Amino acid sequence: QSALTQPASVSGSPGQSITLSCTGIGSDIGDHNYVSWYQQLPGEAPKLLIYDVTKRPSGVSDRFSGSKSASTASLTIAGLQAEDEADYFCSSYRNPKSVLFGGGTRLTV
């Protein structure tokens, strides 16, 4: 199973907005809205940031937002803060019953 494609690294300055991309194919991201994003801080387990393309779990800052166009999902982080420095992984459901992860993007602030 091919992973979803994410850029290996991105960087930004404090206060800036940045967008991370996640590209799949028609049978995963392009086929439905079951796309999620996870943040992994150094030495910690992943944490759910965004699900169903645009929804935020309770407690997640509204600086994080998600979107999708065709087979590419995006995570936008507004007002970058030093604490946002982490690895970010996208994930998608793929029929039947499978889960795909992206290779991850390391964000440097």
Partner 1 sequence: EGRLVQSGAEVKKPGESLKISCQGSGYRFNTQYIGWVRQMPGKGLEWMGTIYPDDSETTYSPSFQGQVTISVDTSISTAYLQWSSLKAPDTAMYYCASRYSRYDPFDSWGQGTLVTVSS
Torsion sign (Cα): 87, 38, 59, 11: positive
The window from 13-21, 50-58, 61-69, 78-86 that contacts partner 1 (CB under 8 A) reads: 50-58
Closer residue to partner 1 in complex, CB, 16/98? 98
**Using the rule CB under 8 A, which residue among 20, 29, 80, 100 binds partner 1?**
100
**Using the rule CB under 8 A, which residue among 20, 74, 104, 107 binds partner 1?**
104
